[in-house]
Chain A
Amino acid sequence: MSTKYTKEHEWIVVDGDIATVGITNYAQEQLGDVVFVEVPDAGKQLSQGDEAAVVESVKAASEIYAPITGEVTAGNPALEDAPATINSDAESAGWIFKMTISDASELDDMMDAADYKTHVAGLE
């Protein structure tokens, strides 16, 4: 199991042929208090870059894009009643959706934890 990161501040944990997707702690800090999350339904087909979810905070509504191509297997049901989970635990309990991996090579260009840390430091 390894964690990958995108420039759009998403994290992807790969477990077998299923990827779990969420936004990073840095992203939730930037968004501020999250008040609503729209998660995708299981069965939704996504191409890399498609709009997959919406995270609405007191500052802005932000689309979450599919980091890879695949089919949604689950949205996080806990976020409907407790959107703040993204603020309190962005990189674990605050996962947004799980999806299948159609093309594992799409993960190749993504950053690992160290690279992402450098990427974020460069944004300050």
Chain B
Amino acid sequence: MADTQSTITGNRGLQLEEPLIFEQDSPGRVGVDFPDTDLSDNRLGGLERQGPVGLPNLSEPQTVRHYTRISQKNYGIDSGFYPLGSCTMKHNPRVNEKLARLPGFASLHPMQPTSTTQGALELMDTCAHWLKVICNMPAIAMSPAAGAQGELCGMMAIKAALEDRGEGAQRTRVLVPESAHGTNPATAAACGYSVDSIPANDRGRVDLDAFLSKLDEDVAGIMLTNPNTCGLFENDIIKIADAVHDAGAFFYCDGANLNAIMGRIRPGDLGIDCMHINLHKTFSTPHGGGGPGAGPVVLSEPLAAFAPLPFVVHGENGFDLVEHKSGAGKKSYGRIKGFHGQMGMFIRALGYMMSHGSDGLRQASSDAVLNANYLLAELKDTLSPSFDGPCMHECLFDDHFLKDTDVSTLDFAKAMIDEGFHPMTMYFPLVVHGALLMEPTESESRETLDQYIHAVKGLTARAKSGDAKYFHDAPQLTPRRRLDETGAARNPILRWAPGGDEEKS
């Protein structure tokens, strides 16, 4: 289809073919012309540039068009439905963006004296307060820059607490269920622990007996994701927490999916010792290339003293920062990140909490679960759900429905691009075959979901009708057709180089 529509320019209507900015280089062309100057008084002291600087020469309108055209090729949450499971691609309310751009916040410098930043410290303290209330946890570390760093922050607190107790050398193993996020075992390993995998049961949850049989005096903790990556609530979580504590270990919960339970379940009530909160997911700060993440970690009483520096305290003269390992920071394991954390995200997250209120936050998680169950209910007879029963914030299917069609999960996802949707998450979690994981989030309308369901049903019918070639050729309507992902992984070209002689890794 695409080949019959070829044009002279390579442009396809409003879909413009755009070369790399380096390929548009025209030596001598500049945005602004300056008069030649005669610099007889050379004060560079021998540090003059010796060769070309290697930047492309373009005019201002060329440059503006280049970046505008590139931005138009992007597909983001602002352009369409983005049901990428496990990623919580929900709408970022514009009021929060506006707040973050207020000059008083946007112009702050992290090294200003605290006497000049009382408002910012109060905002951090207020944001921290409400996150603790939502989680019913006594302490919080605000500085981690994203979810995975939050995990590292939490596991370092666990390690510090165990060492403080004199059990650092004894406890060397961390239990991680198969249904946990992939970063969990990586975090445990990065902290020097050996990772012991716990199998899932046939309901997609932690196999409790297998877990109990692995629990021993050498276990430092468990890292559990709840709701897990199958979009299911771990119903045995309180039994798991009790058993972990009886064994003298700590309970890390991956809170990336807090979006499903916020306002309904408080992690502190489940016996959790620490949990990171992805502000960029649950509290709708931009992500996926749109902005930095933020991963504050709530901590239980036994872990609170080990929280990283710096943190905000109420001092004699207003708010103060504890920046050193003394006083309130005596047992802290130190810094995990430069400065205080992602201030811009704290502003947006607090804006989100304040504009929603407790009832609004509760409704957000309820609607996220409702939307996922709507997809599950509408698609369960078309696709093959991996587990029985309702889901939480995301619904998981395997590729059984594609059996004997010669269409793979990958092919199906590529065809979704032609339909104008960002594909669902593919081949993750690994616990089911050819996974398709869909997370609609609460911010999608029924009309959008219906259109998506219509597309998925139509494509499934097409796959079952024997038209495998359509899927193997997809996508057809994109600026580029299917990329050679294997070739890109085996022989990555990471940098453009002059003369088309690309540098290989």
Q: Which residues of A contact B (CB under 8 A)?
A: 33, 35-36, 58-60, 83-84
Contacts and interface: CB of A to CB of B under 8 A. Distances in A.
A32 to B, nearest CB: 8
7 contacts: A33-B486, A33-B489, A35-B490, A36-B490, A58-B485, A58-B486, A60-B427
Question: Which of B430, B485, B489 has the largest number of chain A CB atoms within 10 A?
Answer: B489
Contacts, number: 18
The prevalent SS among residues of A at the interface is loop
The prevalent SS among residues of B at the interface is helix
B490 A84 contact: yes
Interface residues of B, number: 7
B131 to A, nearest CB: 33
A60 B486 CA distance: 12
Nearest to A36: B489
A51 B490 CA distance: 23
Question: Which of B428, B485, B486 has the largest number of chain A CB atoms within 10 A?
Answer: B486
Question: Which of A36, A59, A83 has the largest number of chain B CB atoms within 10 A?
Answer: A59
A111 to B, nearest CB: 20
Contacts of B427: 59-60
Interface of B: 427-428, 430, 485-486, 489-490
A60 B431 CA distance: 12
A58 B427 CA distance: 10
Contacts of B489: 33, 35-36, 58
Nearest to B489: A35
Contacts of B485: 33, 58
Contacts of B490: 35-36, 83-84
Given A36-B490, A84-B486, 4 more contacts: A33-B486, A33-B489, A35-B486, A59-B427
B280 to A, nearest CB: 25
Nearest to A82: B490
A33 B486 CA distance: 6
Nearest to B492: A35
Nearest to A123: B433
B186 to A, nearest CB: 11
Q: 9 tightest CB-CB pairs across the interface, nearest first?
A: A35-B489, A33-B486, A59-B427, A35-B490, A58-B485, A58-B486, A60-B430, A58-B489, A35-B486
